[in-house]
Structure formats: C-alpha cells, structure tokens
Amino acid sequence: MQETVLLPLIILLPLLGFAVLGLWGRRLPEPVPGVVASALVLGSLLLGLVLLGQGGARWAVEDWIPGVPLSFVLDNLSGLMVMVVAGVGFLIHVYAIGYMHSDPGFSRFFSYFNLFIAAMLVLVLGDSLPVVFIGWEGVGLASYLLIGFWYTERVNADSARKAFIVNRIGDLGFLLGMGVLWAHFGTLSISELRELIAPEGEFAVGINVAAVSLAAFLLFIGAIGKSAQVPLMVWLPDAMAGPTPVSALIHAATMVTAGVYLLCRNSFLYFDLPDVSFWVVLIGMLTALYGALCAFGQTDIKRIVAYSTLSQLGYMFVAAGVGAYWVAMFHVLTHAFFKALLFMSSGAVIHALGGEQDVRKMGGMWNYLPQTRIHGLVGALALGGLPLLSGFWSKDAILAASYEYSALLWFVMLITAALTALYSMRWFVLVFMGKYRGHEHPHESPAVMTWPNHVLTLGSLFAGFVGLPYVVQSENLLEPWLNKAIVHHEHEKLPVLDEWALILVSAVVALGALYYGYRFFQAEAAGRLPAWFTRFQEASLRSFYADDVYNALLVRPLKSLAKILFDADGGLLGGFWWLGSATGNLGALLARLETGYLRFYAAGLLIAAVLLVLVGVIR
Amino acid sequence: MDALLHVGLFLPLLAGIALLIWPSLGRRLAVAASGVTFLIAAWLFARASGEAYTFQALLLEPIQMYYALRLDGVGLVLWLAVALTTLLAVFIAKVPTRMLGWALLMESGLLGIFAADDLILFYVFFEATLIPSLLMLGLYGGRERLKAAYTFALFTLAGSLPMLAALFAVRYLGGAPSFLYSDLAAHPVSGSVADWVFLGFLVAFAVKTPLFPLHAWLPSFHAENHPSGLADAMGTLYKVGLFAFFKWAIPLAPEGFAQFQGLLLVVAAFSAIYAAWLAFAAKDWKRLLAYGGVSHMGLGALGLFSGNAEGVTGALFLLAASMVYTGGLFLVVGRIAERTETLEIGPVRGIAKSAPALSVLTMFLVMAMIGLPGLSGFPGEFMALLGAWKISPWLTFIAFTAVIAAAAYALTAYQALFQEEQNRVVSDLTPREWAFAVAIVAGVVLAGVYPKMFTQMIHPLSEALAKLLGGGA
Amino acid sequence: MSWLVVSALLFTIGAYGVLSRRTAILVFLSIELMLNAANLALIAFARQWGSLDAQVVTLFVIAIAAAEVAVGLGLIVAIFRRRETTGVDELRGLRG
C-alpha cells in the first residue's frame, strides 16, 4: 500500500472534465465533449487499475477539519467499485455519445456525467466518513441534475427534486451516524475506527456495543435512502425521468449500490451485530419482494427495469445483512453488467421508436433490431437467473447465504427469484416478441451505441464465473480477494450435498419461471389476461399506493402546516407590535387623568395628603 | 502591522463619508476602498502566525476605556468574510451611489465589532452599525419600509439596553480594573449576578443571531429592503450574534451561560427547524432567504451552545461561510429581480433556458446554502452536528431535520424560477456578473474543499473556550 | 391648642379657596392662606416646646413666600397679557 498523490488524480480527471465541459463545452462541436468525457473516465479506470495492480494506495491530508482527515484508500473493495464505476461508466459514456446525439444539452450532459463519476469515485475511495459523505451527496447532486436534465418538463423537475429530498432523509441518518461515532470514538477515519472497534476481526473488549449499534443503524438509514430500499424507495421509479444512460449508470449500475458498498466498507460495524443485521435483512427482503411485485404492472419500459433494480438491491442488502459481504459485492458486480445492459437495450429500443417508452406500443422488435435483440435477451435471462449466466451465480450465492441464515428467508428469496424470472420475461416478450403494435419505423442504433452493449453482454454472460460456489471451484477468484478488505465472520461451508441441492433448486425454479413467463406474457401482448391478474396489475402500476400514502400522511400535512406556521410567524411579529401598542394604549388611558383643571390636581393633592395622614394616624 | 489594522478598519468609513458628501465620486471609489480593505484582510490572514494582531491606547481615563483592537484567528476569518462580501456587494449591486456610502460605513462598523477588544468599544461598534443599516432601510426600502425600520430599531434597542446594564455590571460587580477583554475575563462574575449579566447579553445577541422568537424583525427587514440585495447582504453580515456570544457573553459570565445552556440549546434547535419549515411556505425570495438564514444560524447556535471545541468551531465557520453565501444569494436574487421585476416565487418560470450561467451560479449558491459537502456550507454545519450530538442527541436530531427541509424549500423555489415551461426571456450574466460569479464561487469552493485553512485559525480559540467551560477539547 | 385649631381652620379655608376660586389670583391668595396656616402651626409648636428652631423655619418660609409671590404674580401678569384671562379653567393647555 503506497502513499501517492496519483490516487486523488483518479478523482480529479473526471472533475476536470466537469469543469472544462461545464464552462466551455458549448463551444465544442458535437461529439467532442462526449469523447473528452469518455477519455477522462477511461483514464481514471486505467490509473485505478495500475494502482490496484501495485497493491493499492492511500493518500491523506490530516486535520482537514479538526480531527477529521481527508483521506482516500484504494484497497480490493474500493478497487472493485472503481472498476465497476469507471469501467461500466466508461461504456455508458460511449453509449451516450450516440444516445444524446443532437440534444441541445449535449455538452451539459457530459459535464454532469463526469461530475457524477468524480463524486462516485470520492464516495468509493473515501477512507473517512465525511469524505465518503462528500461523494454521497455529490452523487445525489449529479443524480438530481441528470434526472432533471430535461428540466422544461415539469414532471422531470419534480422527479429530480423528489429524488434529492428523499435522499436527504437518508443522508440525515448518515450524518447522525457520524455524530455517534465521533462522540464515542473521537475519530471518523474508517481505518482508524476499524482498528478501534474490530481490531482482530472481533469487537474490541469493553467497546460500547449500544453506541456501535446506534451508529450502524443510522448509517443503515443512509444506505436505505441512497439504495432506494423500503420505505424510502419512492424516488427511484420517478428517477427514470432522466435520459436512459443516466438510468443505466446512476440508477442501476453504480449510485444506488452505494448503500450496499457502505455496509460492506463498514462491515466492521455490522458483522457482530445480529439485531441491526436483522433489520438489514428484513428491509432487503421486503424491498426485493416489493420491487418484484411492482414490476409486473408497469407499462413504461424503463420503469419495469427500475423496479427490478429495486428488487435486486434488496437482494444485495439481504446478502450484506446475513454477513456475506463479498456476495453482496459480487451481486453488485454482476448486476452492474446485466442491469446496465437492460437499460441500454431499453434505450436502444426507445431510440429506435423515436422516444416511445410505453411497452403496450412496442412488440415485435425481434424482427427489427438484430443486435439489440441479443442484448435484451441476454440481459433479461441474466436478470431472470438462467443457469450459467452471471445473474444466476450471484443470486445463487445470495440464496445459499440466506439459507444458512434462515430457511424462511431462503424461501421468500426463492419466490422472489421466481417472480424476477417472470417479470424479466414479461419485459422481453412485450418488447421483442409478437407483432409490432406501434406506428414508427424502427431502426437499429449506430455502432457507438451497440458496441458498449456488446461488451456488457459479454460481462453479463461471463462475469459470474469469478465467484463460483465452492462445490464447483474450491477457491473462487473473488471471495478471498475481497475478504482481505472486509471484516466478517468465517462461515462454515454448507455440506456439499446441500449446496448442490440449493443450486439445483434455484436452477429449476429459474428455468421453470422463465419458461412459464415466456408463455404467460404472450397472452398480455395479445391482450388476453385473466381478470385477477389485470386487477393485480392495476395496483402494481401504482406501486401499491406508496406515493399516495406518503402524500396523504406526510407531504400534504407538512405543507399545510408550513403555511399555517408561516402566517403564525407573521402573527408573532404582530404580537410584538401588539405589545408595543398596548403600552401606548395604557399610556393614553392614564393621560386621560391629566384634565388640565387646576382644581382637579389640587383636590388630588389634598385627598392624597389626607389619606396619608389618616394612614399615619390609624397605624 | 498596527497601521494596516487601523487602515483596514477605518478606510471604509472614510470612503463612505466621502461618498455621502460627494456622490459623484461614484462606485469606483466604493469598489476601490472595499477592495483595499479586502486585500488588507487577506494580507493579515495570510501573515497570521498564531499570535493575534493587537493594539491598545487609553481612550477615556476616568473609566479606563481603551481603544483596543485584537484580531485573532476568529476575527481574521470573519474579517475576510465581511470584506469579501462587502466588496462583492458594492461591486455588483445596482443602487444609488450614496447607498454604497452607507454600506461602507456599515463595513467599518462590522470590522470593528470583530476587532474590538474593549467591551465599551465593542458596544459602540455594535450600536453604531445599526445607524447605516437603519438608514439604508429607511431611505431606500420598499413601501412598508418605515414599519420595518421601526421594528428593526425597536428589537435592536430593546436588546441593547439590557446589554448596556450587563456591560457595567460585568465590570463593576466582577471587579475588573478596565473594560479590556483580558481584565474582564480574569474577573468573571459569579452567582446570580452572572445569570443576570448573561441574560442581558443574551437578549441583545439573540436579536442579532437571530434566535426564535426574537427573529421576528428579520423577514420584514429583508422583504422591505432595496431589491438590489445590497442592504440585505450587509444585514446578513450584521447577524453577529454567534460571534458576540463566543467572544463576550460566554467567557465573561460562564456560570450564567451554564445556567441557561439547556434552554438555549432547545431554542436553537427550535429556531433551526421552525425557520426551515417556514421558508418552505415563503412566497418571495427574500423571505425565503431570511428564514433560511435563521435556520442555519439555529444550527450554528446549537453547535456553539454545546460548548465543546468542534461545536464552537463549527458555529463560527458556519457564521463566516453563511455571510458569504447568503449575502451572495441576496445579491444574485437582486440581479434576477432587476431582470424580472419581481421577487415573488411563481410568476416567472423557466429562465434557465435563456440564462444558463445565471442558473448555474444560483444553483451553486443554493447548494452551498443547503450544506452540500464540498462547498462552504458543509464543514460548519457538520462540526456543529458533531459537537451538538455529544451534548444532546435528540435535539441534534430534531434540529438537523432542517437539512431535509432545506433541500425542500431551496430546490422548490429554484425549480419554480429556473425550470419548467419558460415564460420569460432574460439576459444571461454580464461580464461584471461573471467576475462576481468567479470570485464568489472560488471562495465558496475553497472553504468547502479545504476548510482546514480556516478551521486551523478558529480551532485553538474554540478549544480555549471549551476548556474554560470545562468541556475539554 | 387653640392656636392649632385656628391654624387648621385657616388651612381649610385656604384649601376650599384653592378648589373653588376660578381666577388665578384668588387661588394664589388661598395658597398663601394655607402657607400661613402652616406658619401658625409652626409657631404654636415652637411655643409649646420652647424651641427656636421652628421660629427660624417660619422666618425662612415668610422670606421665601415673599419671593414666591413676586414670581407667582409675575407669571400671572404674563399669562394675562398673553391670554387675556386668568381663569384657571380656561388655562388647560397641558391636559392629556
């Protein structure tokens, strides 16, 4: 591990792109900003890989704010994320050159995109919680800017704002979590905290477990917000208002996995806290199920994929909750490939149909888009968990880990996996199968958009082989490599037979569900669905009324209370004025005693004198 | 060094008087004077060695009142903030020339507040600054300006009288030989006297922080001031309450502070969330910024009143940072109002289309205001949180829900003005505004990315205060 | 004792005069009456206790009363010149 100033350079490259493109991008002719931005991200990726190859790196400024360093670390965990962020990020940058073609905000888009990459790298590389938080809010800002990229539409601006505000709820948890750690351990450097809390892979003796629990829980709230888990999931589907590359990069492959990364990076807090971990598992499980159910009713091609993201993030949380941190990161990796692929295939379809996003007006794309159809198929199958594809291996690892935790959890996750296979087939069938139901003239995307998808297709096919179960490969590539950077409990491996049985079950379930889904949703494409299912779809389309509940219970009461208080505050000033005028009125009242008649005063004098004398006499 | 100190302090005063007498001298003089002042502040800041710049001369022998200046780390940071904001304000605001003169007079007063090391001198600066502020409101304000000015004056004066009493009590009941800070601090008052003394200071400084319910003057003050934002920016600088608590009220009557600490924490937390909430319902930009400012000062006050080093540093950092970004926002809003002829949120929409650079500048300052990490609003807020959590987790939680509300009110207003369907074409930044933008963005980013530059000046003094209060570092 | 009764009577008459007269001159005279009632009481007590103090005070009062009459009458004359009246009921410019 070397001290090197090259480490912050990884971040500075895209930041430079942000500044330069933001200031002068509009003077550059069209493809140039995109090329510059992509090249800078590629530079970050290569630099990161070189440093990682040299065994990692760190860099710090002490006392950035008193007691808190500005420190970065590149170890295997952050290295993996750098690969995902800059690697997949680079591909999506290239894709966007084609997708954003002839948009008036072309250079602005790439400027924001580079800002996002820079912020995400800060988040990933930060070795001090406030530094992570810089990236954490930075990606939130980039996400806000990009969701509202086409800000002249009110819906888009609203969605962007909603995303930012909901994220801030989680951020408050993050902030307060840092408050706890600071109050009890006096440092916010992650590596120092790790030394203090879990020096030997165990909680240190005499540590305040309650404080650690509270901190872990609060940080988890932050993760809930950023990764759109129940109950803060409402912003992610709306975030699809942004351009499709944004959905692919930010709201699928990278930013939303930041919550999972946070849990893994701080695994030393969670690994020995069964109570907090239970909550992580519970939230993850609920989200996985909820997202899967919501995906069935969506009619927007991107929202289907968005809900599947929600669901897959739930899987990752379950993995982190049961203590299988490397598995969570494994799923982050494979998910980045196949989900980016799904989004970009969706983008290619939208592009082909001149901006149409409604799956009811699609269909039959198999005949029109010879390359995108392969991308879509591979993406959908990987998401659905077709055996041997990347999604299968990582999901299987999660299922195995949850089986060790509890059979019930395993069962729920298995059901969810079946649902996943079903809706991924729904997406595929509605878009690609049957007859075209619209009136455009679909055309395949240019090479600059298909080539990134080719690479992602390869990733979706083969990325799973870095994390094979031990019964297939006794020591896979990823687990020991990642575990160097993660504090966790060593698990006893499941017996060989159980492991095989689990693999078999999930393979059978996935195959069965994929096949059944393929058949079943041909009926939807033809408009022949059972009545119970259409009713279910209506509820699902409105995401089971989550937004309505929030609006009724929180947003509207808070807004009207704000109005009332605002008027009341004017009343407060009125109150001070009243105090002033009350004094004046009292004075005016007393002034009425001044009649101006001399004898009135003289009588007063006399009466007072007499009274005084009387008082004297009586006493 | 001494000479520079006095030049920095009185140059704006002289230039301001000159401008009032000969307005034909024009904006150039105002910019030059405040520019030189800024350079002096920056020079002093850059040359700071950990020792404070000091100067003492006996002014009134019978009561042992000194003309005593002491510019320590905190003072330097605040000088820098005041000088920068004033420079930017007189540079950008489109106002009658005489108004610039008043602004310069105010600058001298403000610099004096942060440099005075004698309590009477401090009081003089503290009160004298009121005059130009009031006059700016009364001469150049909006339709209801007189009522607003009355309110402002009454609140301030109602606070000043108890402070005047406290000021004499703290010396004569404490037994200090002079009004010098060092003498007063060496003879702190104790017992119930300390309570009363602190209460006296409290009223005056709470008006100027401002803390609920003594913030009531602020919204109408801002709403009625000249739409250019010059007076609002200067008024923002005048919110010196946190500094005054830090420098005078708490060290001179620590026992009194201990007595009121719990109450103050509650009030600070309540101010933070209450004002943030109100900002959401505000219908014009100036009220929005006014309430937003109250909310942020509430968070700062929470840090300060927690009495530990990180909380105090956070509060002072936040104070200095908010001077620049809130002041800057008032000025930017002034520029926008000049283009759209209204300060209301709602009627004008979608102007980002025709003024992209202006929208980016505004977004930038708004993000600084809502405490986006990496910009100047964050370090102060964050340290205040770290400090406050140690004292009262629950209050911290309640107060810091304001950061959620901040995102809500700021972005809602931003969206209403800049986004959605365009219904007005406005011009983008002029070269002059570009210069303004570059300067303020540089300042905001510098303080956000490298807060160490400022915190290392503030922190030793905060540690001293924390030690005095027995909190430890 | 009877001196005191006379003094009290004088005082009462004076007080009545202050309250009932309408012209400043008569009010003023009534006040003088009350003043002299007080003088009388002082003399009476001085005689009673055989002390000179009160007599000295009385002399002072008489001297000061003389000065006061000069000032008071001067005021009344000045007021009459300006307002053409000395009626105390008309002179109520100071009412609240």
Three-state SS annotation for A239-287:
HHHCCHHHHHHHHHHCHHHHHHHHHHHCHHHHCCCHHHHHHHHHHHHHH
Residue A148 sits in the same domain as residue A292: no
B400 contacts in chain A (CB < 8 Å):
172, 175-176
Residue A391 sits in the same domain as residue A503: yes
Structural tokens at position B299: 């968070």
Residue range A4-19, pLDDT digits in tens: 888 999 999 999 999 9
Instruction: Answer whether B47's CB lies under 8 Å from B110's CB.
Output: no
Residue range A64-74, pLDDT digits in tens: 988 899 999 99
Angstrom distance (rounded) from CA B49 to CA A279: 52
Q: If you measure CA to CA, which chain B residue comes closest to A166?
A: B404
Torsion of CA B345, B347, B351, B357, to 10 degrees: -30
Torsion of CA C49, C52, C54, C56, to 10 degrees: 170
Range of the domain at C69: 1-87
Secondary structure string (H, E, C) spanning chain B? CHHHHHHHHHHHHHHHHHHHHCHHHHHHHHHHHHHHHHHHHHHHHHHCCCCCEEEEEEEECCCCEEEEEEECHHHHHHHHHHHHHHHHHHHHCCCCHHHHHHHHHHHHHHHHHHHECEHHHHHHHHHHCHHHHHHHHHHHCCCCHHHHHHHHHHHHHHHHHHHHHHHHHHHHCCCCCCCEHHHHHHCCCCHHHHHHHHHHHHHHHHHHCCCCCCCCHHHHHHHHCCCCCHHHHHHHHCCCHHHHHHHHHHHHCHHHHHHHHHHHHHHHHHHHHHHHHHHHHCCEHHHHHHHHHHHHHHHHHHHHHHCCHHHHHHHHHHHHHHHHHHHHHHHHHHHHHHHHCCCECCCCCCCCCCCHHHHHHHHHHHHHHCCCCCCCHHHHHHHHHHHHHHHCHHHHHHHHCHHHHHHHHHHHHHHHHHCCCCCCCCCCCCHHHHHHHHHHHHHHHHHHHCCHHHHHHHHHHHHHHHHHCCCCC
Range of the domain at B100: 2-468
Of A342, A344, A351, which is closest to residue A443 (Cα–Cα)?
Answer: A351
Task: Indicate if the pLDDT at residue A63 is higher than 70.
Answer: yes
Please indicate, yes or no, if residue B104 is contained in any of the structural domains: yes
Binary contact (A596, C20; C-beta < 8 A): no
Averaged pLDDT, A307-323: 93
Angstrom distance (rounded) from CA B445 to CA A221: 28
Helix or strand or coil: residue A152?
coil
Binary contact (C92, A596; C-beta < 8 A): yes
Task: Indicate if the pLDDT at residue A260 is higher than 70.
Answer: yes
Averaged pLDDT, B136-148: 89
Going by their DSSP bridges, the two strands A57-65 and A2-3 should be labelled as parallel
The pLDDT value given to residue B343: 87
Angstrom distance (rounded) from CA A526 to CA A92: 34
Task: Indicate if the pLDDT at residue A442 is higher than 90.
Answer: no
Is A589 in CB contact (< 8 Å) with chain C?
A: no
Residue range A100-142, pLDDT digits in tens: 888 888 999 999 999 999 999 999 999 999 999 999 999 999 9
B280 contacts in chain A (CB < 8 Å):
559, 562
Other chains touching B, judged by 3 or more CB pairs under 8 Å: A
Instruction: Answer whether A302's CB lies under 8 Å from A268's CB.
Output: no
Shortest distance between the Cα of A581 and any Cα of chain C, in A, equals 18
Question: How far is CA C96 from each of CA A511, A587, C18, rounded to the nearest angstrom?
Answer: 99, 10, 22
Binary contact (C96, A599; C-beta < 8 A): no
Please indicate, yes or no, if residue C92 is contained in any of the structural domains: no
Please indicate, yes or no, if residue A402 is contained in any of the structural domains: yes
Q: How many domains does chain B have?
A: 1
Structural tokens at position A227: 């990764």
Residue A557 sits in the same domain as residue A529: no
Angle among Cα B385, B391, B396 to the nearest 5 degrees reads: 40
Question: How far is CA A38 from each of CA A119, A202, A409, A455, C41, rounded to the nearest angstrom?
Answer: 16, 43, 42, 15, 113
Please indicate, yes or no, if residue C32 is contained in any of the structural domains: yes
Residue A303 sits in the same domain as residue A240: no
Binary contact (A572, B383; C-beta < 8 A): no
Q: Which pTM does this prediction carry?
A: 0.89
Residue range B297-332, pLDDT digits in tens: 999 999 999 999 999 999 999 999 999 999 999 999
Residue B442: count of CB within 10 angstroms of its CB: 11
Residue A557 sits in the same domain as residue A452: no
Please indicate, yes or no, if residue A588 is contained in any of the structural domains: no
The pLDDT value given to residue A435: 86
Task: Indicate if the pLDDT at residue A257 is higher than 90.
Answer: yes
Angle among Cα B45, B51, B56 to the nearest 5 degrees reads: 95
Residue A242 sits in the same domain as residue A324: no
Task: Indicate if the pLDDT at residue A557 is higher than 90.
Answer: no
Instruction: Answer whether A307's CB lies under 8 Å from A295's CB.
Output: yes
Q: How many domains does chain C have?
A: 1
Residue range A209-220, pLDDT digits in tens: 899 999 999 999
Please indicate, yes or no, if residue B473 is contained in any of the structural domains: no
Please indicate, yes or no, if residue C34 is contained in any of the structural domains: yes
C19, C88, C96 member nearest A603 (Cβ): C19
In the chain, the amino acid numbered A350 is: I
Binary contact (C19, A596; C-beta < 8 A): no
Phi–psi pair at A358, nearest 5 degrees: -85, 120
In the chain, the amino acid numbered A289 is: L
Q: Which residues of A191-201 are buried (b: 16+ CB within 10 A; e: fewer)?
A: bbbbebbbeee
Please indicate, yes or no, if residue C2 is contained in any of the structural domains: yes
**Burial class, B307, CB count within 10 angstroms (exposed 0-12 / middle 13-18 / buried 19+):** buried
Residue A161 sits in the same domain as residue A305: no
Please indicate, yes or no, if residue A245 is contained in any of the structural domains: yes
> CB neighbours of C90 closer than 8 A, spacing ≥ 6?
C83
A134 contacts in chain B (CB < 8 Å):
373-374, 378
What does pLDDT average to over chain B? 91
Residue range B357-398, pLDDT digits in tens: 999 999 999 999 999 998 999 999 999 999 999 999 999 999
Structural tokens at position A570: 């004017």
Is B174 in CB contact (< 8 Å) with chain A?
A: no
Residue A164: count of CB within 10 angstroms of its CB: 24
Say what angle helices A372-384 and A447-462 make with each other, to 10 degrees: 30
Is B427 in CB contact (< 8 Å) with chain A?
A: no
Mutation for C interface: A586, A590, A592, A599, most C CBs within 10 A:
A599
Rg, Å, chain C Cα set: 16
Task: Indicate if the pLDDT at residue A547 is higher than 70.
Answer: yes
Helix or strand run (H / E) with residue A60: strand A57-65
Residue range C44-54, pLDDT digits in tens: 988 888 888 88
Shortest distance between the Cα of A607 and any Cα of chain C, in A, equals 11
Shortest distance between the Cα of A577 and any Cα of chain C, in A, equals 24
Angstrom distance (rounded) from CA A515 to CA A522: 11
In the chain, the amino acid numbered A450 is: T
Residue range A317-370, pLDDT digits in tens: 999 999 889 999 999 999 999 999 999 999 999 999 888 889 888 888 888 888
Task: Indicate if the pLDDT at residue B154 is higher than 90.
Answer: no
Q: Can chain B be said to touch chain C, i.e. do they have 3 or more Cβ pairs within 8 angstroms?
A: no
In the chain, the amino acid numbered C33 is: L
Mutation for A interface: B146, B404, B414, B458, most A CBs within 10 A:
B404
Residue A378 sits in the same domain as residue A498: yes
Q: Which of A277-281, B363-367, B469-473 has the lowest mean pLDDT?
A: B469-473
What does pLDDT average to over chain A? 90
Query: What CATH number has the domain bearing residue C65?
Result: 1.10.287.3510
Q: How many whole angstroms from its chain centre is CA A171?
A: 11
Shortest distance between the Cα of A574 and any Cα of chain C, in A, equals 28
Residue range B49-108, pLDDT digits in tens: 878 888 888 888 888 889 999 999 999 999 999 999 999 999 998 888 899 999 999 999
C27, C91, C96 member nearest A594 (Cβ): C96
Please indicate, yes or no, if residue C94 is contained in any of the structural domains: no
Residue A463 sits in the same domain as residue A561: no
Structural tokens at position A129: 């919680």
Instruction: Answer whether A197's CB lies under 8 Å from A203's CB.
Output: yes
The pLDDT value given to residue B1: 56
Structural tokens at position A463: 């990325």
Residue range B414-445, pLDDT digits in tens: 999 999 888 888 889 999 999 999 999 999 99
Residue range A567-589, pLDDT digits in tens: 888 788 888 888 878 888 888 88
Please indicate, yes or no, if residue B366 is contained in any of the structural domains: yes
Task: Indicate if the pLDDT at residue B258 is higher than 80.
Answer: yes
Task: Indicate if the pLDDT at residue B465 is higher than 80.
Answer: yes
A598 contacts in chain C (CB < 8 Å):
27, 88-89, 91
Angstrom distance (rounded) from CA A389 to CA A399: 16
Interface of A with C in 153-182 (CB under 8 A): none
Q: If you measure CA to CA, which chain A residue comes closest to C93?
A: A596
Residue A525 sits in the same domain as residue A558: no
Instruction: Answer whether B311's CB lies under 8 Å from B473's CB.
Output: no
Question: How far is CA B396 from each of CA A7, A173, B390, rounded to the nearest angstrom?
Answer: 35, 12, 9
Task: Indicate if the pLDDT at residue C93 is higher than 80.
Answer: no
Residue A95 sits in the same domain as residue A22: yes
Residue found under tokens 């008043």: B102
Please indicate, yes or no, if residue B46 is contained in any of the structural domains: yes
Angle among Cα A602, A606, A610 to the nearest 5 degrees reads: 170
Please indicate, yes or no, if residue A185 is contained in any of the structural domains: no
Averaged pLDDT, A479-505: 85
Angstrom distance (rounded) from CA B323 to CA B296: 11
Range of the domain at A344: 273-540
Averaged pLDDT, A222-238: 91
Residue range B268-300, pLDDT digits in tens: 999 999 999 889 888 889 999 999 999 999 999
The pLDDT value given to residue B473: 37
Residue A530 sits in the same domain as residue A553: no
Angstrom distance (rounded) from CA A456 to CA A196: 41
